Amino acid sequence: MNFSFFPDAELEFNHAIDYYEEQQIGLGLEFAQEVYATILRIIDFPNAWQSMTKSTRRCLCNRFPFGLVYQHTNDHITIIAVMHQNQKPFYWHQRT
């Protein structure tokens, strides 16, 4: 199964990497690795995670306070948002 980032989600992801890297050298890389590990869990079990809307689900990252909001078809995952858990829960809703 393939995956891709919605353009705004990719910006959020890169912004979070930069933020964590500014806080501590190497932490941005650790965050990126955690996000990719979360994507692998989504690919393995796309229907296992919390439903947010009829067409989206959210899988939480283990170490960082982020969740990945995504849509999936039979062979593709689209990451709609790389969402900090303390933001408004449906700020990304217009992307779907």
Q: What is the pTM of this model?
A: 0.89
- The CB density around residue 64, as the number of other CB atoms within 10 Å, is 18
Q: Decide which of 3.30.2310.20, 3.40.50.880, 1.10.3210.10, 2.60.120.650 is the CATH code for 2-86.
A: 3.30.2310.20
pLDDT for 68: 96
- The domain segmentation of the chain, as residue ranges, is 2-86
Model confidence at 93: pLDDT above 80: no
pLDDT mean over 48-76: 92
Q: What is the pLDDT of residues 10-54, one digit of tens each?
A: 999 999 999 999 999 999 999 999 999 999 999 999 999 989 888
